[in-house]
Amino acid sequence: MNALQKPIAILYVRVSTNRQATGGHSLDSQPVILTKKAEAEGYEVELVTETGSGRNTARPELNRALEKLARGEAQALYAVDTDRLARSTMHLLEIAQKANKQGWRLVITSADVDTATPAGEMFLTMVAGFAQFESRMISERVKRQHQARRDRGEVWGVTAGCISTLPTETVERVLELRSQGLSMDKTAKQLNAEGVPTATGKKWFATTVSRVLNSPQRRSEAL
């Protein structure tokens, strides 16, 4: 970027539904707010729009914008609100960490967040704390769920969850071939040659054989 060229700010706008994108005020108001802010701070603006629920982890337009920032083709990322930009506290922190590491600004207008200011840094330090708290809470919730299943006598993959639908005779045939010294790959080829179907009716592969041998149901039977 030469001395006369203005830095570029990517304005990220997301609406939740196609209806909002085509007729609602959300898509109209976000660019106006962001353009006014970015241009006042000396940037050329580039608008990036995305349609999709905040629960949707797929954000192709945002990912492309982040790649452009990483390459140094833009110098700032603007969004109206944290929930327009990130799908979770941890996701917001990931984006902020990229901004800090790669040397570009992250600006969220409604929260007065700017990674180039001390106040912005303080806010993101708080975000980091909340992200860690959120991660630990999720971990504790998963542990409680596992413990509750154990208390009910449930075994994941055996009496609950994803349970194999392979007939007993198919599992026994897999074990028989393996006991003959055949490798995973040769076992799969033999099963295909015999026309033995997998649980999904597809071809056998070494990985399919491995999943049968290492399934929770198989391990439970071996005890």
Tens digit of each residue's pLDDT (9 = 90 or more) over 116-139: 888 877 877 777 677 677 767 878
* Residue extents of the structural domains in the chain: 8-130, 168-222
34: which 2 tokens?
Answer: 């962001």
Q: Does residue 82 surpass a pLDDT of 50?
A: yes
Instruction: Please report the beta strands in the chain, taking only residues with DSSP state E, as ranges in sequence order.
Output: 8-15, 44-51, 76-79, 105-108, 113-114
CATH class of 8-130: alpha beta
C-alpha 137/C-alpha 140 separation (Å) is 5
Residue 145 C-alpha from the chain's centroid:
22
Mean pLDDT for the stretch of residues 171-193: 90
Cβ-in-10-Å burial (0-12, 13-18, 19+) of 134 comes to middle
pLDDT at site 217:
54
Q: Does residue 164 surpass a pLDDT of 70?
A: no
C-beta neighbour count of 125 within 10 angstroms: 11
162: which 2 tokens?
Answer: 């994803």
pTM more than 0.75: no
- Compute the radius of gyration of the chain from its Cα atoms: 26
User: Between 162 and 170, whose confidence is greater?
Assistant: 170
Question: Residue 40 — very low, low, confident or very high, per pLDDT cuts 50/70/90?
Answer: very high
Least confident of 8-12, 146-150, 207-211, 215-219: 215-219
